[in-house]
Amino acid sequence: MHKASRVNQANISITATRWCNRRCTHCYIDPAELGNPYQMHESVFRSVFDSVAELVALDTGLEEVEWELIGGEITKLPVEYWERNLPYALNRCREFNAGFKTPGSINVLTNLIFANDKHRGEYVDLFNKYGDWPEMAIYTSWEPDTNRFGKNLKLMAPWAETVRSINARQKILDVILTKTTVAMGPDYLLETFLPLGITDFSIKMISPYGSGRTFWQPNMVSFKEMSDYLCRLFDIAPPGITFTPADEMSGAVFRGTSYQCIGNFRYDLAVEPDGLTTFNANQTTDEAALGDRKIYVGDKDWAYRVLADNTQELDNKLSRYHSYCFQCEFHSACAGGWYHYRIAEPADVRAWDSDDCPGYKQLWTKVKDRHGSFDPVQARHNAEMNSLVLMAQAPSRPTVHLEEPVESGPGFSDWLKETQGGSVKVLARCVYEKPIIQRIWAYQAVGTSTTIADDDVFALSSAEQRVLIEHLVYRDLPSTTVSARAVWTWVDTNPGDPLADLIARAEDDLLSKGLSSSDILVAGHNTELVRWVLRHSRRSADEEGHSTLHPLVGQLSRHLYLEDRAKARFDRRRLSH
């Protein structure tokens, strides 16, 4: 269930204004804000890119950036604003992409509803001027049930004409799975919108914030009905027409790439028109996820402060999931499905998940059946060998060893700066109120290695121990050292916990001839856990001799042997220089 390295993308929502010409009933924005005429100053707009560049340089786990130009309604701003700033954004995106394996886009979100033809024509011309840039993606929404198109959908026909008149390589239709859209079916979607030149559909669930909070439950359908809809769309979509989430799922199962379109971004930052930075782009004003103090673009140490204050959201993404996700084969990519329902009241979600889940397991299975899946055992070995090579190539510097302050100390973001690239002894209780797992995510992000002594592990609450052990055995914390004794003590003292039982059973069963090919332990999603048990087995060398009896155990043992041998070779070389 290794998942930390897959949560590697920032979504940066630059909200140029919150003002909007519509009042859609599902909107996640505080309705009061939709009348706020304040517009983002151009200097703030441009400095967002500089600030994010600092964050990319700082956070070793941040490998992709997607950008949203969003409101409210961005066409409220004079077209001249975007004539200057859209090409600026596209060029900056191109610069960022030069350093990434997976390129991001400037995603321009607009309702394409205009008061008059002049205004409409100016914006269509602007979008068409940049429509063939690979970085440019234009998004608009089809919403038959949210008041988007007014009484009797009278705004839909002119909207459709505007959509048709836009020439862009990436012309994407946002669709929310509600009772009405699901009832209309995916055939309607293709028949109605492909003729308008739509190339991709971005299909999401309702975000329960703003006026969307009251829209949510009355307009929900079961996850099974949503899955059926998406599976049918997967079957009938013509070649070249893609849709989210299936497109990202294909990469995740076939190549092991990340899957964050469900809101599971490493950072989901909104930059408000005044530069205020918040940590869940679907929450505004009183609902906004803020840091310890308000952070504005341009603040000194913005990147350190954002990294330090994002840990609550990041940990939600890495650690929170529904109980039935624990041994799901898709967990390491899916992580528990639509993010906003993982942090919602469970009772509001349980009502809808009797035959499928908020991750659409039925669709995952279908995607896997069509595309096949990558080999997680070999992929893990390759990743370990690559990281050994990178470590061997890194210039060796004296490491600063520090211990977390107990009585008083600098603010956490300043402490991160002080400890960056060094080594920290992490304590069960220290001056920082941030939970231990969140502090570890932050240390790991800035390249600081961590050690936790046994006594500190035992002094943690049972919930803190559980989450720490789970991330350790699934290799989400490669730069954290905890003794095997501490982990085995936790396993021995927590019988009945599904994770403890799995680790305990692994110790017994991996050495037995009776392990069947369908056993959960030989399923790919447990690769890291099985490797941990083999590496830290309490069995005698004599008993270990049987470990090659099962083919998987033999393969993993060989990988571990090769990695140990390579590490010893690199260590010898380093010492001799």
Q: Applying CB under 6 A, which residues contact ligand SF4?
A: 322, 324-325, 328, 330-331, 334, 336-337, 357-359, 361, 364
Task: Compute CA distances 205 → 26, 79, 175, 357, 541, whole Å.
Answer: 10, 31, 8, 12, 53
How far apart are CB 185 and ligand SF4 at their closest, in Å? 23
Closer to ligand SF4 at the Cβ: 328 or 477?
328
How far apart are CB 340 and ligand SF4 at their closest, in Å? 13
Instruction: Determine the residue with CB nearest ligand SF4.
Output: 359
How far apart are CB 511 and ligand SF4 at their closest, in Å? 29
Q: Which helix (H) or strand (E) element contains residue 228?
A: helix 223-236
Q: Token pair for residue 496?
A: 């009945």
Closer to ligand SF4 at the Cβ: 76 or 322?
322
How far apart are CB 499 and ligand SF4 at their closest, in Å? 15
- Please name which of 231, 521, 187 lies closest in space to residue 361, comparing C-alpha atoms: 231
Closer to ligand SF4 at the Cβ: 92 or 322?
322
How far apart are CB 261 and ligand SF4 at their closest, in Å? 13
484-493 and 498-509 helices, crossing angle to 10°: 110
How far apart are CB 246 and ligand SF4 at their closest, in Å? 13
Closer to ligand SF4 at the Cβ: 211 or 227?
227
Closer to ligand SF4 at the Cβ: 325 or 529?
325
Closer to ligand SF4 at the Cβ: 72 or 336?
336
How far apart are CB 202 and ligand SF4 at their closest, in Å? 19
Cβ 210 vs Cβ 30: under 8 Å:
yes
Closer to ligand SF4 at the Cβ: 81 or 234?
234
- Sign, CA torsion 191/139/214/225: positive
Q: Where are the alpha helices (DSSP H) in 256-395?
A: 302-309, 311-319, 331-334, 339-342, 346-350, 361-371, 376-393
- Please name which of 206, 245, 254, 547 lies closest in space to residue 375, comparing C-alpha atoms: 254
318 backbone dihedrals φ, ψ, rounded to 5°: -90, -25
Contacts of residue 446, defined as CB under 8 A and 6 or more positions apart, other chains included, come to 58, 59, 60, 307, 416, 419, 420, 421
Closer to ligand SF4 at the Cβ: 76 or 331?
331
State the Cα–Cα distance between residues 493 and 508, nearest whole angstrom: 17
How far apart are CB 46 and ligand SF4 at their closest, in Å? 39
The residues with which 449 forms a beta bridge, in sequence order, are 423
Cβ 362 vs Cβ 537: under 8 Å:
no
Closer to ligand SF4 at the Cβ: 323 or 408?
323
Tell me if residue 62 falls in helix, strand or coil: coil
State the Cα–Cα distance between residues 477 and 493, nearest whole angstrom: 22
How far apart are CB 331 and ligand SF4 at their closest, in Å? 4
Q: Which helix (H) or strand (E) element contains residue 267?
A: strand 267-271
How far apart are CB 338 and ligand SF4 at their closest, in Å? 8
Cβ 11 vs Cβ 25: under 8 Å:
no
Closer to ligand SF4 at the Cβ: 263 or 337?
337
Spell out a b/e string for 185-194, using b for 16 or more CB atoms within 10 Å of the CB, else e. ebeebbeebe
